[in-house]
Structure 1
Amino acid sequence: MDFLVTMTTQVPAGTSEAAVQDIRTQEAARARELAAQRHLLRLWRPPLQPGEWRTLGLFAATDADQLEQILASMPLRVWRTDEVTPLSPHPNDPAGRTEPAPGTGDREFLITFTVAVPADTRGQDAGDAEAREARRARELAEQGHLLRLWKLPGDGRALGLWQAPDTGAMEAILASLPLTPWMSTQATPLTPHPSDPGAGHERSTGDSTSS
């Protein structure tokens, strides 16, 4: 099972820089171990305000209890709070079915989708739109734009990992989805984390001012 974890770190006042660096070094080593064990799949930095220390992580575990054991084993947990979102399989997830086209996009985005079908929509019309959405998802996966897709808790909610050259291109891709008239979206642009297990993919990051 996959989990998205928002990890927020607050270093206690008066902590020496040497102590901070020591914990960060231990954290990086533990991240490599968890990646080798296939528990840590990805790490990103979301947009940050000055002084913020926050990371998004994609983890795999058998259940919430095992995930908690994994998170508790990470050295930064002494200063960190974790917000966990369970992710369920989505029928349009391209993982394992499509090899993304190389070099299609150079920036990653997490997109939250909420679909609300109008109450007066005929069942056949809704079904046709969902079928077109599935076909379009396959096309975008083949083009290297859609990397992963999961269901989120709650009706009609999903989370997608996408890549595109820039925000404008990402918006155009989302506008091409057949369910767009019934859908609201929230986009989080991502920048690479130095301990990201997926950092081997060549990707231009643009400006990065996160710490």
Structure 2
Amino acid sequence: MEYLVTMVTRVPDGTTEREVAEVRAREAAHSRELAARGRLLRLWRPPLGPGEWRSIGLFDDAGPEALERTLAAMPLRVWRTDEPTELGPHPADPGPGEVPVAADSEEYLVTYAVDVPSGSGAESPAESRRVRDLAAEGHLIRLWTLPGGGRAIGLWQAPGADRLREILRSLPMADRHTVDTVPLTRHPSDPAQVT
């Protein structure tokens, strides 16, 4: 099962820079181990405020209890709180590793809800085709459903925010989407292979 985990770290007052550096070094080593075992798939930083430590990770684990054990074993957990979201399969997901991460593009997490009239399907066949075309063009890296129904989250890449907006407006049901976009920066411990 795949999970998106928002991780917020708050270093206690009085912690020395040396202590922080040691914990961060252990965290980076542990992240490499998790990536080698296929548990940590991706790691990003969303926009941060002054003094804020926040990361978003894509994890693959056997279930909620296994994920909690994985997260609890990470060195930064002594200062960190984690908010996992279980990701469900989406029929238009290109699949892991099918769309390479491009070095010349920026990545974005795009959460969207589709407002459709009752009694109609959540997506039109034209919408599904366009999503698959965008994956084939290298814009959509992954796509999942979110708990609660009617919502999805996609990992997109584009040369910039303006281009991403154009891409999302090209979806046939764009006028029915409520969209929340989070620009991502690759984390130094991100295991992704960039092409």
Place the TM-score, normalised by the shorter chain, in its bin.
over 0.9
Whether the 8 Å contact between 2:98 and 2:141 is mirrored in structure 1 is no
Which residue is equivalent to 1:166? 160
CA distance in 2, matches of 1:99, 1:167: 23
- Off by >4 Å, runs of 4+ in structure 1: 101-105
Confirm or deny: 8 A CA contact 2:103 2:194 kept in the other structure: no
Query: How do residues 5-84 of structure 1 correspond to structure 2 at under 5 angstroms?
Result: 5-84=5-84
Letter of the 2:39 partner, please give it: H
Structure 1 CA distance for aligned equivalents of residues 48 and 102 of structure 2: 26
1:146 corresponds in structure 2 to 140
Q: Which amino acid is the alignment partner of residue 20 of structure 2?
A: V
Tell me the residue number matched to 2:93.
93
Cα distance between partner residues in 1 of 2:126 and 2:69? 41
2:188 pairs with one of 172, 178, 194: 194
Where 2:49 maps in the other structure, the secondary structure is coil
CA contact (8 A) 2:102 2:194 kept: no
CA–CA distance in structure 2, aligned partners of residues 43 and 141 of structure 1 = 21
Segments of 5+ residues of structure 1 without an aligned counterpart are: 203-211
Q: Is the contact made by 1:39 and 1:61 (CA closer than 8 Å) also made in structure 2? A: yes
TM-score (norm 2): 0.95
Separation in structure 2 between the aligned mates of residue 104 and residue 19 of structure 1, nearest angstrom: 33
Change (3 A) 1:32 1:103: closer
Q: Deviations over 1:43-81 (max 9, x none)?
A: 000001111000000000110000000000100000000
- Shift in Å at residue 155 of structure 1? 2.1
CA RMSD of aligned residues (A): 1.7
- CA shift at 1:100, angstroms? 3.0
Distance in 1 (alpha carbons) for counterparts of 2:2 and 2:73: 18
Percentage of matched positions with identical amino acids: 53
The offset of 1:184, in angstroms, is: 0.6
Corresponding residue number in structure 1 for 2:126:
132
Give the corresponding residue for 1:106: 105
- Where does the alignment leave 5 or more consecutive residues of structure 2 unmatched? none
TM-score (norm 1): 0.88
Report the CA distance shift for 1:111/1:186 in structure 2 as closer, same or farther (over 3 A). same
Q: Distance in 2 between matches of 1:155 and 1:31?
A: 32
Distance (Å, rounded) in 2 between the aligned partners of 1:61 and 1:14: 35
Contact 1:105 1:145 (8 Å CA) reproduced = no
Number of residues of Structure 1 aligned to a counterpart in Structure 2:
195
Q: Which residue of 2 aligns with 1:207?
A: none
SS in 1 for 2:117: coil
Distance 1:45 1:102, change over 3 A: closer
User: In 2, are the aligned partners of 1:105 and 1:144 still within 8 Å (CA)?
Assistant: no
> What displacement does 1:104 show?
8.8
Distance (Å, rounded) in 2 between the aligned partners of 1:113 and 1:17: 40
